[in-house]
């Protein structure tokens, strides 16, 4: 029985992907694991690099960029039925020695946990914002915007040392229990990017599981282009947020969101 399947979604990150793959053996030492790379139609030779340099990695080549949810679901469907845990791992991460083994042990000793995520570190070693958070209700979004603009602080302490149940954790490194996935379902493919992890964690919790943030484990997340500097990504972000509201909060809340969205976008700059 395989303990862990690692799922890496790749899109034009050949060098970062190679560095991530090189870091996994030390991070997963002592585990029975398998790696799957789903290449989202990269044009930088990422898929060929994996096939050439990492022959033990299962490579799935997509003919098109499927986005985060569809791409990861393609990989999840390829995971063998006997796998206990599935890890979503961004290709722009560096796995620290022993980190994945510690996450798996946490899940083993917390049978109520459907998912867990480690602390995400920036390249300079500081905690990355938005590693976890609360459900994006209207009140929550207003509090977050007010804290950022008026108080010049974040709503959450991402430098916390406390392992704690949270509403959601980042899909950049998210370890999910196979049983929770089977009960909850796959990622929602109606969202191309953003809020898939929020939605997944909410559904996992609704199914009776807990979602944990465990800062005792750390993963380096090199990160990509800032959302604030990428208009296409911003549009995808807010499109997914509107869809999330329609799905979980109903028409009235979606209407309220559309009214407050211009203000929220201004506060969230």
DSSP per position, 207-247: TT-EEEEEEEEEEEE---S-GGG-HHHHHHHHHHHHHHHHH
Model confidence over 28-82: pLDDT tens digits? Answer: 999 999 999 999 999 999 999 999 999 999 999 999 999 999 999 999 999 999 9
Residue 145 has pLDDT above 80, yes or no: no
Q: For a pLDDT cut of 90, what percent of the chain falls above it?
A: 75
Q: Which range, 95-99, 142-146, 260-264, 265-269, is most confident?
A: 95-99
The values of phi and psi at residue 59, to 5°, are: -110, 130
**Architecture of the 4-137+154-223 domain:** Alpha-Beta Complex (3.90)
Res. 225 pLDDT band, cuts 50 70 90? very low
62 beta partners = 40
Residue 231 has pLDDT above 80, yes or no: no
What global pTM score does this model have?
0.92
């Amino acid at each position: 029985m395989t303990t862990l399947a690692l799922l890496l979604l790749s899109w034009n990150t050949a060098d970062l992907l190679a560095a991530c793959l090189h870091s996994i053996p030390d991070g997963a030492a002592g585990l029975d694991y398998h790696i799957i790379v789903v290449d989202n139609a990269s044009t930088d030779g990422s898929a060929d690099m994996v096939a050439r340099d990492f022959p033990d990695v299962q490579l799935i080549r997509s003919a098109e960029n499927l986005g985060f949810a569809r791409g990861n679901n393609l990989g999840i469907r390829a995971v063998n039925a006997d796998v206990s845990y599935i890890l979503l791992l961004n290709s722009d991460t560096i796995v620290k020695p022993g980190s994945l083994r510690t996450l798996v042990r946490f899940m083993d000793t917390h049978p109520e946990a459907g998912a867990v995520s480690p602390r995400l570190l920036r390249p300079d070693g500081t905690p990355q914002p938005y590693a976890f958070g609360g459900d994006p209700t209207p009140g929550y979004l207003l509090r977050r915007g007010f804290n950022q603009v008026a108080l010049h602080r974040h709503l959450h302490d991402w430098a916390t040392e406390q392992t704690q149940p949270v509403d959601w954790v980042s899909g950049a490194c998210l370890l999910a229990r196979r049983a929770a996935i089977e009960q909850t379902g796959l990622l929602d493919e109606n969202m191309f990017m953003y809020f898939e992890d929020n939605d997944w964690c909410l559904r996992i919790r609704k199914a009776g599981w807990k979602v944990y943030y465990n800062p005792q484990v750390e993963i380096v997340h090199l990160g990509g282009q800032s959302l604030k500097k990428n208009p296409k990504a911003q549009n995808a972000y807010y499109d997914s947020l509107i869809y999330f509201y329609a799905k979980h909060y109903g028409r009235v809340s979606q209407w309220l969101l559309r009214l407050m969205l211009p203000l929220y976008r201004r506060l969230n700059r």
